[in-house]
């Protein structure tokens, strides 16, 4: 049987079809639905795109840890940037005064040196009045990663991704997940301002994952919804309140209002159907190749698809559409 239902719209039988991996976020076309689609392509490029998307889905199904790249804050002047630098360097604290590494490989061993550098950044001719001054970014690694590998990965990533900007970073080694705090000067060497929207951050995660892999640390860089995670990530402001033991209930409630942690019912239900259908469709596509590794990957995709659960709303109700069947096209494979 070769039945196609509404949930199978991402997969066709034509072996020359490809997945279009849309850019989600600021640069995406908001008139088109978010997610991934299949589109006809008769050339070799189509096959490469298809293989790339399937490789990403297979990687998601393996449950690898995720590369973490988050913008914790932006500053608009040297005063705020200096306060942040002292905070991440743990200036004046026991086991503090951590060193900063710069884009040219030099190291600042004293907090005062970082302060002086930030002051020179502010006097740069490219720094515009009222423009963003620095971006403060957190890059994390899987638990147990060698801190030297984290340092090399962060150095390589920052040089690669922020090559037009000055930056400095410090590595924290006293947590289970060794991580770095990266401060990037918003004004580039050519005067262009740094922009970090959703699309850029997705690319940043992929670049960082590549540099971690070069150090022998295998990670993934996928969307939360691609992994069947419907709750939105916790905002940094709430995370720090909880970490520092000063989670004022009123403040937390205010953050929840401005950063809802749950998808809307319509978003959650639609994503559940679409994502599950894509994994199952890709699995059946791989099975049709009759290659041993492809069949193994298809098993992994199907197992992962079955593990994806519907989005549950605040009232504990299953979101609309979440109980609809999500299955790939029937390619004559017994299940």
Tell whether the model's pLDDT for residue 208 goes beyond 70: yes
The predicted structure's pLDDT at residue 326: 37
Q: What is the pLDDT of residue 70?
A: 95
Residue for token pair 């889905």:
57
Identify the residue with better confidence: 69 or 11: 69
Output the pLDDT for position 312: 59
For residues 23-32, average pLDDT: 33
Round to whole Å and give the CA distance between 305 and 328.
Answer: 11
Least confident of 15-29, 142-156, 197-211, 234-248: 15-29
Output the pLDDT for position 249. 61
Please compute the mean of the pLDDT values over residues 26-43 and round it to a whole number: 35
Average pLDDT, whole number, for the chain? 75
Determine how many CB atoms are found less than 10 A away from the CB of residue 277.
Answer: 24
The pLDDT tens digits for 85-126 are 999 999 988 888 999 999 999 999 998 999 999 999 988 888
Measured distance CA(90)–CA(96) in Å, rounded: 5
For residue 319, the number of C-alpha atoms closer than 13 Å in the C-beta half-sphere is: 21
Domains of the chain: 68-214 (3.30.930.30), 227-258 (no CATH)
Higher pLDDT, 321 or 303: 303
DSSP 36-60: EEEE---SHHHHHHHHHHHHHHHHH
Tell me the per-residue pLDDT of 36-70, one tens digit each, with 9 for 90 and over.
333 333 344 556 677 888 888 998 898 889 999 99
Structure-model confidence comparison of residues 157 and 285, the more confident one: 157
Q: 126 or 235: whose pLDDT is higher? A: 126
Contact 172, 110 (CB under 8 A): no
**Percent of the chain whose pLDDT exceeds 90:** 42
What is the average per-residue pLDDT within 137-159? 95
User: What's the token pair of residue 253?
Assistant: 């409630």
Share of the chain above pLDDT 70, in %: 66
What are the tokens at 313? Answer: 């709303």
Per-residue model confidence (pLDDT) at position 79: 94
* pLDDT given for residue 115 in this prediction: 95
Q: How confident is the model at residue 1 (pLDDT cuts 50, 70, 90)?
A: very low
pLDDT of residue 76: 93
**Sign of the C-alpha dihedral, residues 323, 328, 332, 335?**
negative
**Dihedral sign computed on CA atoms, order 164, 169, 171, 172:** negative
Residues 269-313: pLDDT tens digits? 567 788 888 899 999 989 988 888 899 999 999 999 998 887 655
Q: Which of 6-20, 138-152, 208-222, 302-316 has the lowest mean pLDDT?
A: 6-20
- What does the pLDDT read at residue 251? 56
């Amino acid at each position: 049987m070769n039945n196609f239902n509404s949930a199978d719209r991402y997969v066709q039988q034509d072996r020359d079809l490809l997945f279009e991996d849309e850019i989600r976020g600021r640069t995406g076309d908001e008139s088109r639905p978010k997610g991934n689609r299949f589109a006809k392509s008769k050339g070799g490029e189509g096959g490469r795109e298809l293989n790339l998307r399937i490789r990403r889905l297979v990687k998601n199904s393996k449950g690898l840890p995720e590369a973490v790249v988050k913008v914790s804050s932006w500053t608009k002047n040297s005063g705020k940037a200096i306060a942040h630098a002292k905070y991440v360097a743990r200036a004046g604290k026991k086991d503090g005064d951590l060193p900063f590494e710069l884009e040219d490989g030099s190291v600042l061993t004293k907090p005062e040196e970082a302060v002086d550098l930030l002051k020179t950044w502010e006097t740069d001719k490219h720094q515009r009045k009222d423009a963003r001054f620095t971006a403060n970014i957190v890059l994390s690694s899987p638990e147990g990663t060698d801190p030297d590998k984290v340092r090399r990965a962060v150095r390589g990533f920052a040089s690669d991704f922020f090559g037009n900007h000055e930056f400095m970073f410090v590595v924290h080694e006293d947590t289970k997940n060794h991580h770095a705090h990266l401060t990037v000067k918003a004004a580039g060497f050519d005067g262009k301002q740094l922009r970090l929207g959703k699309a850029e951050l997705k690319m940043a995660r992929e670049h960082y994952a590549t540099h971690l892999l070069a150090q022998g640390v295998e990670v993934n860089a996928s969307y939360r919804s691609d992994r069947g995670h419907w709750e939105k990530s916790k905002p940094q402001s709430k995370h720090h309140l909880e970490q520092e033991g000063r989670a004022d209930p009123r403040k937390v409630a205010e953050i929840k209002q401005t950063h809802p942690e749950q998808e809307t019912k319509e978003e959650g239900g639609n994503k559940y159907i679409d994502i599950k259908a894509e994994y199952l469709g890709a699995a059946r596509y791989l099975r049709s190749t009759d290659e041993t590794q492809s069949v193994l990957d298809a098993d992994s995709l199907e197992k992962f698809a079955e593990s994806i659960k519907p989005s549950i709303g605040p009232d504990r109700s299953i979101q609309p559409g979440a109980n609809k069947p999500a299955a790939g096209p029937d390619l004559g494979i017994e299940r």
